[in-house]
Structure formats: structure tokens, C-alpha cells
Amino acid sequence: MPKVPGMVKGLGVTFRTMVETLKPSGGPATVQYPHEKEEPSPRARGVIALHEENCTACMLCSRECPDWCIYIEAHKTLAPPRRAGGKPRQVNQLDRFAIDYSLCMYCGICVEVCPFEALFWSPEYEFSEVSIADLLHEKERLGEWMETVPDFEAYEAGSEAKGKKVPR
């Protein structure tokens, strides 16, 4: 059988796509956004969520951030000792944790460098604001997004044992 010329094949591709789009079983690849919402993949980089209890204000994320968009303020305080009769522990109490999403470029370095599992990627993407200054989100808002963080999926079969848990 002679080879079908590429020009004819191309016509076939566009025609098939059109039929596929119009078929009730097919439909377009796009989503009519405000009317129906797109379902992002679980590990999509939508927004960065903060689990406040895990943060020690170590400033690693803030220092690694290429855009310098993370603001952290903390003070030292004393926590009750771990064992009875022990010395009270000195811990950092987080006063402020804010990410300026008008500067953030969603590189995810802060999530990667966080040694205490306080920052997570969430697929949530609807957090636009009318004013650009309103994109500076404080730790309360960042904490709300923790609910939208999906559980980690095992990278491959048998790796569940090492799989990390998302703190809830």
C-alpha cells in the first residue's frame, strides 16, 4: 500500500479532531471555566499551604526564596519541658508568616528546603484578587489551604513504607 502523503494525513487529523469534539462522547479538551471548573492533577502547583505547628521560624524558606516573597517574624519563648522535672525548652513562636503571591513565581524551592514539613503544595488555584496588594496572604489564609493539600501518593509500588504523611 502506498504511503499516504503527510498533507492528506494532516487534513485527516484536523477533521477527526472536529468530529471528536462534536461527538457527545468526545467533547473538547478545554473546560468552559467560570461555568465548570477544571480538575487539576493532585500534585499541581496551585498555591503554597502552611502547617503552622510545624514551622520553627528557621528562615530557610525565606532565605532560599529567589523572589524574597516570604515574610517571617518570630520571638523566642519557653515551652514546657518534654520530661517531668526537665528544663523548659526554648522555642521560636511564630508571629507572622506571609507569602506575597504577587511576587511568588511558584518555583517550590521553599517547599523543598523546609526541614520540618511545614510547607506544602496545594492544587487550589482560585485565589485571585482585585488589588495586587491583596495577594499578600498571612499565615491564617495559608493555613486554610492545608485542607486542600492531597495525601502523598507512593512514587512506585512498594515505596509506601517510606511515604510521608501530610500533617492534618
Partner 1 sequence: MSGLIFAIELAYWQQTLIKVLVAAVLIPTTALILGIVFLFKMMSWMQSRMGPQEAGPRGLLQLAADGLKFLQKEDIIPDRADRFVFKAAPVVVLASTFLTYVILPAGPDLVIENLPTGIFFAMAVSSLSVVGVLMAGWASSNKYALMGGLRAGGQLIAYELPLILAVMGVVIQAGSLSMQDIVWAQADGSMFGFGGLGLPFVITQVLAFFIFMAAIQAELTQPPFDMPVAESEVVGGFHVEYTGFRFLFFFLGEFATAFAFAAIAATLFLGGWWVPGVDPNSALANVVGPIALFVKIMVVAFLIFWFRFTYPRFREDQLQRFAWKYLIPLALANITITGILVVVL
Q: Which stretch binds partner 1 (CB under 8 A): 22-30, 59-67, 129-137, 145-153?
A: 22-30
133 binds partner 1 (CB under 8 A): no
21 binds partner 1 (CB under 8 A): yes
The beta-carbon contacts of 123-127 under 8 Å, at least 24 apart in sequence, are: 123/40, 123/41, 123/42, 123/43, 123/44, 123/45, 123/46, 123/148, 123/150, 124/46, 124/47, 124/49, 124/148, 125/40, 125/44, 125/46, 125/47, 127/47, 127/101
17 binds partner 1 (CB under 8 A): yes
Q: Which is nearer to partner 1, 20 or 147 (CB)?
A: 20
Least distance from C-beta 27 to partner 1, angstroms?
Answer: 9
- 3-class DSSP assignment, residue 162: helix
Q: Which is nearer to partner 1, 15 or 106 (CB)?
A: 15
Q: Which residues bind partner 1 (CB under 8 A)?
A: 7, 10-11, 13-15, 17-18, 20-22, 28-30, 32
